[in-house]
Structure 1
Amino acid sequence: MQHNTLTLPAPARIAEPPSPARLLRITLLLGLLTAFAPFATDMYLSSFPDIADHFHSNVGRVQLSLSTFIGGLAIGQLLYGPLIDRFGRRIPLLCGIALFAATSLLAIFAPGIASFVGLRALQALGGCAGIVISRAVIQDLFDTHQAARALSLMMLIQGVGPVAAPIAGGYLLAVAPWWSVFAFLTLLALVCFALTIRELPETLAVENRQRQSLARIAKVFGQLLSEPGFLIPTLASSLTLAAMFAFISGSSFVYMTLHGVPQHLFGWLFGLNTLGMVAASQLNRFLLQRFTPRRLFIAAMLISAGAALLLFTQTRAAHLWQLALPLFFCTAPIPVLGANAVAIAMARSGRNAGSASSIVGVMQFGFAGLSAALVGILHDGTAWPMTVTMLGCALAGFFVLILGRRHL
């Protein structure tokens, strides 16, 4: 069912699109750029005690560097949207990658915990460039159906981050000090900077750029937020995505402390959930040949919410597998609902793809940061904070979808 609450011109596309082979390379590169965030969060989790000792601080203050990073991801995405609609995609992306590389390197030489936390905030501002700009580039190059398939392929690459990061971080930290993680992040950013220069063309023509005042930018944000066809899939998927961040925040305590999982095995168990997400994202590409993004979005929401409810009933389970199984089915559908929801939402953005991408990012990481913080605030020495938060997020997203499904 189509609605025309917001009427915007069709998205502007470059006159000569890249060849299919280059489109594939661009999509893979964009997926790698969106993996900056999981690498920057998951790789260093097991080094918190070492960082605390290095800065003569405590683990609580080191944990602040994680929540600050997530907050920086949300704020940064709000800033990039108007910038890339005005100045194009390529230059802001290169600036963001450069900022990520510089702050990753400087974090190694931070004189104290306060400056380390501050550098993490700046690192997030650089790292979120790829997240925002990749969605806008996909919108520039593909229609809605193709965009959903491209986003699924991106999520395959992006999904490698949460799988590989805790495993690689654990092995790296077993043979090298904590700062080796940030040395790796610096190298990763430099490689991506070179690949971006080589592979990514400017996808927004000069004549189609939006030179908007702050008042006009605020008006565009307001128009997008008042369009149910954009707001419903964005809000519903963001709330459900927040359940995954509740899992990320609470999983180490639940697995290692409550169920006695050894530290060297935690990364592998954590990675199994992400492997399920990677598999689901690729299944989504196949299913899109037969079903619409709307149908797949709704189906994934149903599976995730149902699994979250089952997880909640198993909170006091004595055996780890009784938690791990519903956890798997709660998180695995998230790339499916995320890719299709973003494709549906971005299709309503018209020529304001950058601003729309900013709103998507702010909602996703805003709710993610809140859910991660809530798990810590509710901490009581049990699995309840994680499972309750995950259930609340999943059900909230499901109810938003049910109430607004006619607008999709």
Structure 2
Amino acid sequence: MRAQSSASTSREVTAGRTKFLLILGGLSAFGPLSIDMYLPALPTIAGDYGTGAAQVQLTLTAFVIGLAFGQLVAGPLSDAYGRRRPLLIGLVAYALASVLCAFAPSVYVLTGLRLVQGFSAAAGIVIARAVVSDLFRGVAAAKFFSMLMLVSGLAPILAPVLGGQLLALTSWRGVFAVLTVFGVLLLGASVFGLPETLPADRRRHGGFGDTVRTFGSLLANRVFLGYALAGGLGFAAMFAYISGSSFVLQSVYGLSPQGFSAVFAVNAVGIVIAGQINGRLVGRVSTRKLLAIGLAMIGVGGVVLLLAAAEGLGLVGILPPLFVLVAAIGLVMPNSTALALNEQPGAAGTASALLGTLQLAIGGVTAPLVGLGGSGSAVPMAIVMAALGVLAMLAYVTLARGGRELTEEPELAQSAEATPELTH
């Protein structure tokens, strides 16, 4: 009877796989959409409010801070109250904050609203990872995280283009109107298409003290910390690329804005392609080995990039290692995430929160270092990226040694509350 039920679940689940993937991919894309779509509007916002660039850039900083700390709140709450309730509250808050941003009367009000917007957007990002961990184990989790790269990886490619086109049709306030619509659509999709995946008997009810103890145990878990730091440092290398590449490629190497956009898009497509290759290889090749390959690509790509920049080899010298380094994120992120969450299946929301916060914290701290070495060379950016790549490799080798390999047989985490539409 149990075998028949499992087979029936598997068949029904497969039919809803695309819908599930699109919903979780959309939730994972909150960050890049809310940041990248908004970047082309910064000068216009400064002009409308009659303020300087620094004040307007604080609205971006506020969003990132909200995104980081929001994950620390939403993740543990989802472990205690289930995934749906915190997610739906976060989506409602995101939509309300977005529409209020469109009518903000001053840059200071806009900054506060962006903080709220980032804080609420964090619920979608952190809970999407936790939902995958609820439903999948081992190889299946790594494969699904790889598929998410196909959806969420398109966001940084399309968001700047969409933002630029929107500014040709409407004001910057229209960008926030579109983000409001995006939030409302995801709210509706989550209400009707995403069931509860954490049953009541698996929830944590220890309150604030239990949350603090869980964070402490995660930080004390050497293997979890190794995977988290490896992924976070690798992500920070891409963060350094995002923060420095516009200046380096346009001001140092003379690319036009259109040329820079083309390079940015090609590198982003590399992430998507690497993620899909990873999804096909997981189960045939050790997940830890795939992670090590991705980290090696970042480390070696960073070192080659540094050598090419130092030797003055021009675009021909820096673009290939830059592509390799950025594309490697498609191997590093799904595997480091799946391996880290595999270490803590009983606290997926809290573990997901710590993973996301570490990524943003390390990226936020290291990104400004790109500009410290002056404005006449690509070497400072290359130094930061190479150092982060090497540190990511060291974190994996020294801390994650002895970690468990993901099981070859995927395990679907069934619950009485989870509908059979969620895939295997």
Q: Shift of the alpha carbon at 1:135?
A: 1.1
SS for the counterpart of 1:366 is helix
Structure 2 Cα separation of the partners of residues 322 and 116 of structure 1: 42
Matched, 1:373 2:368: yes
Task: Select which of 324, 330, 336 maps to 2:331.
Answer: 336
Structure 2 Cα separation of the partners of residues 184 and 378 of structure 1: 38
8 Å Cα contact 2:75/2:123 also seen in 1: no
Structure 2 Cα separation of the partners of residues 380 and 28 of structure 1: 41
Task: State the match for 1:355 in structure 2.
Answer: 350
Cα-to-partner distance string for 1:245-294 (whole Å, 9 max, x where unaligned): 11111121112222332224432321111100000000001111311211
Matched, 1:241 2:222: no
Cα-to-partner distance string for 1:63-86 (whole Å, 9 max, x where unaligned): 222222222211111111210011
What does 1:254-403 align with in structure 2 at a 5 Å threshold? 254-315=248-309, 317=312, 319-376=314-371, 378-403=373-398
SS for the counterpart of 2:354 is helix
Structure 2 Cα separation of the partners of residues 17 and 105 of structure 1: 41
Specify whether residues 374 and 70 from structure 1 end up closer, same or farther in structure 2 by C-alpha distance, changes over 3 A only: farther
Matched, 1:106 2:100: yes
Task: State the match for 1:81 in structure 2.
Answer: 75
Task: Select which of 14, 36, 51 maps to 1:20.
Answer: 14
Cα-to-partner distance string for 1:337-390 (whole Å, 9 max, x where unaligned): 110111111011131111111111111111121122333455544333322221
| Amino acid across the alignment from 2:287 | P
SS for the counterpart of 2:283 is coil
| Amino acid across the alignment from 1:330 | L
Task: State the match for 1:253 in structure 2.
Answer: 247
> Which stretch shifts more, 94-103 or 242-251?
94-103
Matched, 1:181 2:175: yes
> Which stretch shifts more, 248-257 or 28-37?
248-257
Structure 2 Cα separation of the partners of residues 261 and 310 of structure 1: 21
Structure 1 Cα separation of the partners of residues 161 and 276 of structure 2: 22
8 Å Cα contact 1:67/1:373 also seen in 2: no
Specify whether residues 96 and 303 from structure 1 end up closer, same or farther in structure 2 by C-alpha distance, changes over 3 A only: same
SS for the counterpart of 1:19 is helix
Specify whether residues 77 and 378 from structure 1 end up closer, same or farther in structure 2 by C-alpha distance, changes over 3 A only: farther
Aligned length: 394
Q: CA RMSD in A?
A: 1.9
Segments of structure 2 that go 5 or more residues without pairing to the other structure are 1-8, 404-424
Matched, 1:197 2:191: yes
| Amino acid across the alignment from 1:332 | A
Identity of aligned residues (%): 37
Report runs of 4+ in structure 1 exceeding 6 Å deviation: 15-18
Cα-to-partner distance string for 1:284-334 (whole Å, 9 max, x where unaligned): 011113112111001111111100111112225363342222111111011
Q: Shift of the alpha carbon at 1:180?
A: 2.1
Task: State the match for 2:210 in structure 1.
Answer: 216
Structure 2 Cα separation of the partners of residues 78 and 213 of structure 1: 14
Specify whether residues 167 and 41 from structure 1 end up closer, same or farther in structure 2 by C-alpha distance, changes over 3 A only: same
Matched, 1:207 2:201: yes
Cα-to-partner distance string for 1:176-203 (whole Å, 9 max, x where unaligned): 3222221211111111111111110000
Structure 2 Cα separation of the partners of residues 189 and 259 of structure 1: 38
Structure 1 Cα separation of the partners of residues 370 and 66 of structure 2: 19
Segments of structure 1 that go 5 or more residues without pairing to the other structure are 1-14
Cα-to-partner distance string for 1:8-54 (whole Å, 9 max, x where unaligned): xxxxxxx9996222244212210111111111111122222111111
Structure 1 Cα separation of the partners of residues 374 and 125 of structure 2: 30
| Amino acid across the alignment from 2:108 | A
